[in-house]
Amino acid sequence: MIKISQLEKIYRTEDVETIALNKLSFEISEGEFVAVMGPSGCGKSTLLNIVGLLDDPDSGSFLFNGIEVSKFNERKRAELRKRNIGFVFQSFNLIDELTVFENVELPLIYLGAKLAERKNRVQEVLDKMQIMHRRNHYPQQLSGGQQQRVAVARAVVNNPKLILADEPTGNLDSANGNEVMQLLTDLNEKGTTIIMVTHSEHDARYSHRIIRMLDGQTVLENIMV
């Protein structure tokens, strides 16, 4: 599903050049659950942003479902992103002015789904995430665990092929963290590919494969049994 080869990303300021990704190459197949680990500044998040089409590499190739997307412009990237990729962030990133229902509905609006379809789909996902009873609440009225469940609901509402999770349990206690990891595992079992950046060995154990990074390169790959 994802084939990355010789990917490079360099951040430049006036005096300093920081290599975030250094000729990175790997592949991820459809249905895989991959955890990306490494110390801060090793390039995990840069990798996630590039795979999530939020950022573009300086050089190298990135095939998404066999299509070269590294040179896509902003519009094409947004188009591909909204149909195929869901995001889950450490800080949830829900919109405070929208209710739970409206936050989850948002990707469907940008996909151009009809009102009835949106309603059904959001209800279905909220039911699955067991937060239907909170549908009319605003994010700040929810606990951290509930907020992350909403974020996961939002990430999956348009049935993306790929979910990118950036330290999804980073702001949660262990009980809520486990719940979120279980949700991700369930989604993966139903066929969704998941790439998760994490510092937590515990969370990484939910994945099939761990890619360990250092200085913008993969240094180790563990296959989980």
Partner 1 sequence: MFRNYFKIALRNLLKYSFISSINLFGLTVGLTCCLLIFTYILHELSFDKHHQKADRIYRVTRSWSGPTGDVSLHLGTIAPAFGPYLTNDFSEIEKMTRLLQSGNVTLRYEDKLFIEENGYFADEHLFDVFDVQAIKGNVHKALNDPFSVMLTRELATKYFGNDDPINKVIRFDNQFDCKVTGVYASFPANAHMHPNLLISFNTLKDTAVYGEKRLRTSFSNNSFFTYLLFPAGYNVKNIESQFPNFIDKVMPASPESKSKPSQNTRLELQKLTDIHLRSHLDYEAEENGDIRRVYIFSAIALFILLIACINYMNLSTARSALRAREIGVRKVVGAQKKELIAQFLSESVLLSWIAIIIALVFTWISLPWLNILSGQVLSPRLLMRWPIILTLGLVPFVVGILSGLYPALFMSSFQPVKVLKGLFKTGGSNISFRKVLVVVQFSISIILIVSTVIVFQQLKYMQQKSLGFNKDHIITLPYITALSQTYDAFRTQLLEDPAIRDAGRSSRIPSTRLLDAQDSYTLVGDSMLPANLDIKYVSADYNFVTAYGVRIVAGRNFSRDFATDTAGFILNEAAVKVIGWKSPDEAVGKPFRYGITSGRVIGIMGDFHFESMHDKIAPLVLVLPPPLSSSYARISVKAAGSNLSGALNHIEKTWKSFLPDIPFTYNFLDENYARLYKSEQRQGTLFTIFAFIAIFIASLGLFGLSAFAISQRLKEIGIRKCLGAGTGTIVGLLSKDFLKLVVIAALIAFPVAWYAMYTWLADFAYRINIPWWAFIMAGLIAAGIAFATTSLIAMKAAVSNPVKNLRTE
Binding site for partner 1 (CB under 8 A): 45, 49, 52, 54-55, 74-75, 78-79, 81-83, 87, 89, 93-98, 102, 105-107, 109-112, 154, 158
* Cα–Cα–Cα angle for 62, 63, 65, rounded to 5 degrees: 150
Nearer to partner 1, 56 or 215 (CB): 56
Nearer to partner 1, 81 or 212 (CB): 81
Cβ 55 to partner 1, closest distance in Å? Answer: 5
The token duo for 136 is 């009319």
Cβ 73 to partner 1, closest distance in Å? Answer: 11
Tell me how far apart the alpha carbons of residues 51 and 18 are, in angstroms, rounded to a whole number.
19
SS3 165: strand
Tell me how far apart the alpha carbons of residues 177 and 183 are, in angstroms, rounded to a whole number.
10
Cβ 96 to partner 1, closest distance in Å? Answer: 8
* Cα–Cα–Cα angle for 120, 88, 213, rounded to 5 degrees: 150
Cβ 220 to partner 1, closest distance in Å? Answer: 26
Cβ 94 to partner 1, closest distance in Å? Answer: 7
Nearer to partner 1, 27 or 124 (CB): 124
Q: How many CB atoms lie within 10 A of CB 82?
A: 17
Nearer to partner 1, 59 or 91 (CB): 91
SS3 129: coil
Residues 6+ away with beta carbon under 8 Å from 156: 86, 125, 163, 187, 192
Nearer to partner 1, 149 or 210 (CB): 149
